[in-house]
Amino acid sequence: MLHIVHHPYYVSPAAPGSSFSFDKYGLVMQAFAEHAVPHQIHLPDPMVRAWIEAVHDPLYVEQVASCAVPADKERRIGFPVTERVSRRAFLAPGGTWLAARLALQHGFAANSAGGSHHALADSGAGYCVFNDLAIAANRLIAEGDAKRVMIVDLDVHQGDGTAALMAGRADVFTFSIHAEKNFPVRKARSSFDLGLSDDTGDEDYLAALARHLPQAIDMFGPDLILYQAGVDPHAEDRLGRLALSDAGLAARDRFVMHAARQRGLSIASALGGGYGDDRMAVARRHVRSMLALHEAFMACGE
Ligand SMILES: [Zn+2]
Quote the pTM value: 0.97
Q: How far is the CA of 25 from the centre of ligand 1 (A)?
A: 15
Task: Tell me, in angstroms, the distance from the centre of ligand 1 to residue 241's CA.
Answer: 10
CA of 124 to the centre of ligand 1 (A): 14
Task: List 224's β-bridge partners, or say none.
Answer: 149, 266
Amino acid at 56: H
Q: How far is the CA of 150 from the centre of ligand 1 (A)?
A: 19
Q: How far is the CA of 144 from the centre of ligand 1 (A)?
A: 30
pLDDT per position as a tens digit, 151-160? 999 999 999 9
CA neighbor of 209 nearest in space, from 263, 152, 280, 273: 152
Residue 34 alpha carbon to ligand 1 centre in Å: 25
For ligand 1, the distance from its centroid to the CA atom of residue 92, given in whole angstroms, is: 16
Q: How far is the CA of 116 from the centre of ligand 1 (A)?
A: 9
CATH of the domain at 117: 3.40.800.20
If you measure from the C-alpha of residue 24 to the centroid of ligand 1, how many angstroms do you get, rounded to a whole number? 14
For 247, the domain range is 2-300
What spacing in Å lies between the alpha carbon of 155 and ligand 1's midpoint?
5
Distance in Å, CA 273 to ligand 1 centroid: 4
Give distance in angstroms: CA of 301 to centre of ligand 1: 31
Residue by residue, pLDDT tens for the chain (302 residues) are: 999 999 999 998 776 667 777 788 899 999 999 999 999 999 999 999 999 999 999 999 999 999 999 999 999 999 999 999 999 999 999 999 999 999 999 999 999 999 999 999 999 999 999 999 999 999 999 999 999 999 999 999 999 999 999 999 999 999 999 999 999 989 999 999 999 999 999 999 999 999 999 999 999 999 999 999 999 999 999 998 899 999 999 999 999 999 999 999 999 999 999 999 999 999 999 999 999 999 999 998 75
Distance 271 CA to ligand 1 centre (A): 10
**Per-residue pLDDT at 13:** 76
If one counts the domains in the chain, the total is: 1
